Structure 1
Amino acid sequence: MRVVFKYIWFLGMLLSTAFMYAQVDSDSIDQERRFTLRGSVIESETQDPIPNVNIEVNGGAYTTTDFSGEFRIQAKRGDELIVRHKDFETVYYTILSNERITVKVEPNEEEAKYKQKKFSRSNPNEFKSLIDSAETYLKKDAKRSIQFIESALIKSNSAKENAESYEVLGDIYMFWKQYDLAVSNYRISNQNMKTSIVKLKLAAAYKQNNNYQESIETYKEISKRKLSNWQLVQLYEGLGDVYFLTQSHQLSIDNYQKGLALAQKHLITPKITDLNSKIAQVYNVKGESLKAEGYFNKSMKLANTQNKKRAIEEKIKVADFQSTNNNYSSEIALRKEALEDINDIAYDSILDNASPLTSQKQNYKIGNAFALQKDYENAIPYLEKSIEEADSKEDLIVQKEATRKLHEIYRDAGQFDKALIAYQSYVELVDKLYIKKEQEISQAARFSKDIVSKQNRILSLESDRALTESQFQLTTEEAKRQKLIIYSLIGGVLLLLVTAFLMFKYIKQQRFANNLLALKSLRSQMNPHFIFNALNSVNSFIASNDERTANKYLTDFSLLMRAVLENSEEDFIPLEKEIKLLELYTKLEHFRFQDKFDYTINIDESIHVQDFVIPPMLLQPYIENAVWHGLRYKKTKGHLDIMITQTKSDEIKITITDDGIGRQKSKALKTEHQQKQNSKGMGNIKKRVSILNEMYKDKVDVLVDDFKDEEDVGTKVIVTLKKD
């Protein structure tokens, strides 16, 4: 029977318009533009599938139709699709989008003379339409895409359609970085129908979910004979990625080299560039810089022959390589070239703040490279430019890092006034970033909750389907069906438990991270007030023409400031170090108010101070309050006493007492603004102690009370510190 090609129907006319609009991006690299084209070849009259039809794309991909007449092949817009079979004339068609196509042929000998290939659109069946809709919304709206999959599963009539539904569901979760759910759905798809494409996706999902051994095993199980050239390159690249993550560097290089040889043989240009770059990265990690540089040179030359965006990406990778090897001049030159190219593509490409191709990131890294060379004159303009651009694009992370680096440069250059301004800006940015991170965590939690809810509905739908089908089976088959249902329900419950455990673990980790960020923010708030008071002291000495005293005070203050900044990133520091800081700080305060008080610091000789740790800057505010709000207003000369004693083998008590005017009188003397500022300072300490006790199980206890029953009642602060 001779068959003549009649026409190709394109599915989803309304969906294709939206999809093509989303896909148009002239600067995207070839790999990003590739998609999986789905289609089928059937007879027009009988609707019977035609197996073993040769399907080829001029870019090198090749496959055949399966027993159901369907095929899937990697392609991109503009490729030419070639359909060959012994019973009809070869068909050539230019691919315009990734919408599903159906090739219908009919046995009609009289029409053979026309030899014209007719392409037309038809309405898809309901299931295929739902799958296409899910793929269209995959990158835009996860919830809506999942809803289409849910509807497709209801319409599914075979294991093959079930497999396709769960595969697309896995693709959705993979894109939205829900890797554990992606793994689950790819596995379900593979259970319904085993295909090499799904196994490739499953192996990649295992890798992203940090199941490295499972990923390696899955890659090795895939039959290489069933893969197209492009897929085989993907397999070797994926294996290389997993071995790199597990630090099996030689195995990683071996697999990358296999993929590179195959890509070069079949002229798969995007992969040639990618694999040269990845081999260079592995050699760099191994410490073989010369080999790494050679492969990076190759990848840069190849990237320059592709589109500009890909060339920029490779320049930035090579610049990072030069940075790790301290070749700052080469790094700066590459980043400047990349910066010019980024400005060129800025009008045509939308780059979010997470992209490494943003101008603010490159300006920051150029400034950082100049700073590492001690070339502060060139570093400052780039950092200022980075801060300005990051502010306009609301990139708080880069703005914060650039501001911190600017503060360090001014500090190292001795420009303390500018350093202080930069540091204050840095503190404000830390607070803003903390608030933003809290909002992002809350949004991510809501998104994850919705996703898990929809996944549970789909699992429930699958269970209901199994229950319904079991009612129509014979008695001998019914027992088997019931077992399958029970196992499915148990699997669903286990999946729910695992998902709940992972969510609980994730929330716990995020809470701990939030506490660390809050502590850092609270610690950073202590420093500006402390620096401000000390600089006021220096100013007063200078104003009174007491230059020698000011110089001496400033020398001691710089030692204290250096120690405070060194400890500002730590949750706890050794008690011995904190005691030295207190001695230096108290000495400075006494130096300024010699006529107001004397002080003593007593440490029990039996205490092993090296066995205890304490939060930095915890005691200093209490000493500051004692001097500034108690002893300073006392009519006679007062006394400040700091005593450290050991009450238990794992506990010490730090007592700070003064015979000043007391808290009530001090409060009465303050202005409204001073009361507010003091309230904030004490609130800061309470928050720090509360967070530390939550994280480290009641490690610190603070008690504040009156010292004695006299006119000048004074103040007593008792800090109890427990050993780990």
Structure 2
Amino acid sequence: MKLKKYILLYLLFVSVIAFSQVNTGKQFTIKGTVKTKENRNPISGVEVSATSGAIVYTDAFGAYRIKAEVGDYLLFKSLEFETVEYRIKDDEDVDVLVEGLDEDVQLSKSALHKMYLDSAKQFKKIDIGKSIDYIRVSLEQLGKRGNNKERAASYALLGEIYQYHKQYDLAVDNYKESLTYSTTGESQLLLANAYLLNKEYKKAEVLFLKIDGSAKLSTYKKIVLYEGLGDAYKGLKNTSKAVANYTKGLDLAKKELVKPKITDLNTKIAEAYGDANQTEEAVGYFENSLKSAKTEAPQRALEVNDRAADFYSKNSLYNEEMKLRQQSLEDIELLESSSKKKAVKRNAVTKEVEAPITRQRINYKIANNLIVQDKLDEAIPYLEESISEAASEDDLVVQKDATRKLSEVYDDKGDYSKALETYKKYAAVADTLYARKEQEISRAERLSKQIAEKQNRITGLEKDKELYESKSSLARTKQDLYTTTSIKQKILIYALVLGMFLFGIAAFFFYRSNRQQKLANNLLALKSLRSQMNPHFIFNALNSVNNYISKSDERSANRFLSEFSTLMRAVLENSEEDFIPLTKELELLELYVKLEHSRFPDKFNYTITTDPNIDVAAFQIPPMLLQPYIENAIWHGLRYKDELGFLNINLKQKNKETIEITIEDNGIGRKKSAELKTQNQKKQRSKGMGNIKKRVSILNSMYKDKVDVNIQDLNSDGSGTKVLLTLKKD
């Protein structure tokens, strides 16, 4: 009812807004498409103008959005068709279908496919959603048959899009799909590198070796192959094979004078040796990499300097690290003086987008170098400079780390007032960074959901194609059979008859299985219904009636039996429901406890207390969920006491969305009660409580942790029991 109410209010709100727009002469946005009437192909580049002055053009999907007013005329102009006019009556969408297009003017499906791929490439880095949409439309242009190479190109580009945006698992899936249509050495390399990025090193190794043994590759692709194979072995912790393949690639790069790869491979060999703790070899190759990088663009030297400095820091070569850090500061100064970017955001060595190499990061790393050498006074200016630059560049990560480190330095120096003051600044920056990270995570979740929806649509296209091909294959098979001899025609008829017969049998068994399943569900429901009330309670309740009758207390017997039948009827009515109003459940519990008290008046007294601030009617609870815990309290705790016990049932508000229901008894306790039971009673109790746990677990999985139950001893000596049930609103 609430949902219907909100929908009606929303529709009323939208109607009021629309009415006000229509009658005040304000502009609103008209959107629509322009397509061919015959085959619904979109027409791009159509001029759409409104008499109020706005002019737009249709995109690759034939879509447009334009500002207009009621009474405006929309004019659709193109060399491909006669001008179309449309008068605006309201803010509805305006889709235009045109006819009479010259076939020579219409783009072929292959040309449209290429155009959409070009558009996808254009949006690859700036809008992943649009880029994926263009891929989908490119596949739609190919139809169900389509050219396999063109289809492979679409999936390969989709893999590149996902790879750029770090969706490596989806990149792998789409590269694989591309290879099902067209297998080339280049497409196999794309998949192998995607395996590397997805950390599937063994699969990458197998595919690289396969390419090396079969594909004809250019020299540059050979270098890429050996580099990738080295990355795979490095991921598999096989340093010797990693270095061997990096060296093969390096030799080819030197032979062909491919300078970027000479730098990359020297660096990777150095890092491989570094991972294997072969420091001397690593230092030699880092020196080669640094020399090679100096012959390239300044950014390259900056990248390699940073990688080498990190290695020197890791291996306690602090003087060498300090020289490289200082050189990096000079390189950044040179880049800034040349009016270039202040940060290099792409690491050409690793081919991944990493943290930018900035002045504040380098100052922070220099400070860490000095701190490790216990040069705290020298480190402080670098930390302060790093904090200042990070603040001006809005680099919260470095600002946070540098501020925390500065606080630690002051603490180590014994300047506790400055340490505390700096730590407060650190806490403030950390809070800001945390809030920003939460926003980024939220945006990432929305993007992942959007990507999944778009990928599912593309997957649906592929399934439609497979179904179409399956149907086409079946049609061709039938046609072949019809053109053969009469004997084969009879065989076909017999096969069809047999197929229909088998289909009928399958339908019969499915129908029977469905009926059996429904029967099993009904039996399960009945079993659940029977388990909701303890058979001992029903049996003992009827004995109580018999006891009243034997005492000629007909009035008490009638009263007890009437109340008992009311309880049983309510249980039966609610047995099919997952949840019932809490008010109804409380009524049943009051009746149940009253019946039990009438049977054991000398064993316990009870109270049921409800916080007057609770809106009980607003909560829902699984039917008869509380009864087994109350029954346990009476039958296994209070019944065995020599003196009069108590049973307290209390409902209180935890917060606006949650209430707590407490069931307390001062009985003999769970441990002592278990000792008094027979083996058969223990087994029955275990099953009963196990069914309750399963029921709560299933309901929580369906209704998002609506119910939580906690059972504990009331007193430290093990006597008494407390059941705390937490119930949330819908």
TM-score, structure 2 normalization: 0.48
Q: Which has the higher contact order (CA 8 A, sep 6+)?
A: 1
TM-score, structure 1 normalization: 0.48
Rg larger in 1 or in 2?
Answer: 2
